[in-house]
Chains A and B, each alone.
Chain A
């Protein structure tokens, strides 16, 4: 039972990441490969604040969101100069730069040693230290972010995003400042990723830079491409599939380390097959 709760918590963290990234990649059509950087900023904000100061988890989440938003604002300004494959490459570069910060700013992050002993959340005397209560908390956050995202994409703001994805030049002709829209959604999405990061740090009670590499960004990207670009339910499906996949592989008898690699093989091949036969993903509405 504990094991299923563990998987469910991981699922809800990755689903949150997927839903937020889908706002950028699926709805706005920008291939961002730097989501793990903002995820990491949230995680480190919580980790550092909870281990060095007396402030609570929820305040640390808010600070984490702010840090990620400021960082994504600066990064977004630079990224707004690029599109398509150059956007993907430049965003990947920012992931590497922030990863280097986690690794090298040793006085703050303890570098490769990581930060242990992060406590579980507490709210009005209610303690989330059991895994079941933590699962409920992370599911609540997933649902919250899911509906905020749904609200955004169905609003008039969201329609402009989809129009940018369709034809940026055309929507500019109508007088929309597209750079502003792209930057805003980028910052919102980064803030959401930071929340997932705070949850991750508090759940595992330990963070180190290795959780926030480019490969993590690619993994989150795989979740949304598999489930379906521009489809919120698809992302949930994608997260479920990719979180359960290594467990299924272990179940049929692969040792854990081989199972982890097998997952990479399978999701790599899935990406290739999807690009060949179904570029919009399983439930998606938008083709890259």
Chain B
């Protein structure tokens, strides 16, 4: 059997998932210029919200998904207002912000583990009943197709938002130069708050989709975060196109990298790619 079509499909799916994390991460990085490590746990919040509302309480699925995505967004927004905004006002260094986000990440992940146990759980009702499509000799499930479509749709949505709305232009202004944006009358803290909401909601959606594709566990956010951050950096940190390109490049390198070796090497391959980029092209593919 020819394995290449399947590898290509796997790479595209992985790339789409990473893109969902990297897009929000880059949006937030663009506006705040720090590595927000608590971003990863938003995916876990999204996934576990759907688990709670749809599986434990038995609400209908689309409603639960909407609530899960909004909840991730709201928690991201709240973290900005409670922690990151006061730190920014105090002109805290990037490292202080990074450590604070690491602390939030650790705490929220553990709270999820206390509430729902650390067991691996799956969101989809019947795994075997999933529709499967064949493309060029490779196999892709319905969930995976939805992941791919979501990643593309959200990228297009973000690009349109940034290009054609006043709000999007304000985000761009804040990303370019926060001080100047303030001078021309943009309420930068309000804009950054919304950016946290949007970015976290996208990560939440990513977590929900991963939950349907493979499953959820409290630590899922960390793996997703690292891949999202790597994708963001190799693509070009702070750029929407960069996040997308980086995510797919990472997806392909990872999946083709384990062609002849064990899949456990994936994370190491991802970080080797990151370190190579940091050494030879630290600003990423899209050089901003």
Contact = CB atoms under 8 A, between A and B. Distances in A.
A138 B211 CA distance: 45
A31 B86 CA distance: 22
Interface in B79-128: 83, 86-87, 92-100, 102-111, 113-114, 118
A89 B270 CA distance: 13
A260 to B, nearest CB: 9
Given A81-B279, A90-B274, A104 B110 contact: no
Contact of B110 (A81, A85, A262, A287): A262
A70 interface: no
A235 B210 CA distance: 40
- Which of B86, B93, B97, B110 has its CB near the most chain A CB atoms (within 10 A)? B110
B141 to A, nearest CB: 28
Given A82-B278, A85-B95, A264-B109, A271 B100 contact: yes
B4 to A, nearest CB: 24
A279 B96 CA distance: 7
Contacts of A85: 34-35, 94-95, 98
B165 interface: no
Q: Chain A at the B interface: mostly helix, strand, loop or mixed?
A: helix
A214 B97 CA distance: 19
Contacts of B168: none
B59 interface: no
Given A84-B94, A85-B35, A276-B86, A267 B114 contact: no
A225 B100 CA distance: 11
Interface string A210-254: 000011001001100100000000000000000000000000000
B138 interface: no
Given A81-B279, A265-B110, A94 B271 contact: yes
Q: Which 4 residue pairs across A and B have the least CB separation, nearest first?
A: A271-B103, A268-B107, A264-B110, A268-B106
23 contacts: A78-B279, A82-B278, A88-B95, A88-B98, A90-B274, A97-B271, A97-B272, A99-B267, A100-B265, A222-B103, A258-B114, A261-B110, A264-B106, A265-B114, A267-B103, A268-B105, A269-B107, A270-B103, A271-B99, A275-B83, A275-B103, A287-B93, A288-B99
Interface of B: 34-35, 83, 86-87, 92-100, 102-111, 113-114, 118, 222, 226, 229, 233, 262, 264-265, 267-268, 271-272, 274-275, 278-279, 282
